[in-house]
Homo-oligomer: A and B are copies of this chain.
Amino acid sequence: MEDSVDRHLARWRGKAPFEERVEAIVTRMQTLVKHLAHTKEAALAQVGMQDYEFETLHRLVARDGRATPSELAADLLLSPAGMTGRLDTLEKAGLVRRVRSVEDRRRVDVELTPKGRDLWTDAMTIRGEVEAHMVHVLDEEAQAQLDRLLRRLLTSVESGRVPWDTRPA
């Protein structure tokens, strides 16, 4: 069996000024993530939700249904402006509520509405199935191994300032 990346790499053999293994890993991760996004998008349509809406609610629930826009933006690697946009739609849909904080009036607390929590619960099952379906191809041990490897990469990425990264921490 071969996948699309095998074919991609085959086209490069010989004429490529890059490390094949790096290209393979990176391209496979990107492709998997993109596939996952498409599949989840289609699946979440069942409850009339979009992936980005779900992810936002999800992070919010993780923080006990209450967080500031900046916290969420950081969690989701999103720009502040993007976050405002997401919250606007979620608020309009009644899934989320914005409350101006009293002790620091610059801050805003975003809180999940009951409706938001219900919808999240529905979507949660669907999302779980989609993701599990992908990952369960690997047995327990392989999953653990994969996760360990990914974790090593992410730890390094998140700790080390990269020479090319011009953004502030």
Residues of A within 8 A of B (CB): 1-6, 8, 11-12, 17-19, 21-26, 28-36, 38-39, 42-43, 59, 62-64, 75, 77, 121, 124-126, 128-138, 142-147, 149-159, 162-167
Contacts and interface: CB of A to CB of B under 8 A. Distances in A.
Contacts of A24: 147, 150-151
B29 A125 contact: no
Which 7 residue pairs across A and B have the least CB separation, nearest first? A43-B164, A28-B150, A137-B156, A146-B149, A3-B154, A11-B62, A3-B155
Contact of A35 (B25, B35, B77, B125): B77
Chain A at the B interface: mostly helix, strand, loop or mixed?
A: helix
Most chain-B CB neighbours within 10 Å: which of A129, A130, A149, A163?
A149
**Interface centre among A6, A121, A132, A154, by most B CB within 10 Å?**
A154
21 contacts: A1-B155, A1-B159, A3-B155, A3-B158, A4-B158, A8-B62, A18-B128, A21-B147, A22-B132, A25-B135, A25-B150, A26-B134, A30-B36, A35-B157, A38-B77, A39-B164, A42-B165, A133-B162, A135-B153, A142-B149, A149-B149
Nearest to A25: B147
Contact of A146 (B75, B146, B162, B166): B146
Nearest to A4: B158
Contacts of A59: 8
A144 B21 contact: yes
Given A25-B147, A35-B77, 16 more contacts: A2-B155, A3-B158, A5-B151, A17-B124, A19-B132, A22-B131, A26-B36, A26-B135, A29-B36, A32-B154, A32-B157, A42-B164, A42-B165, A134-B153, A137-B153, A138-B153
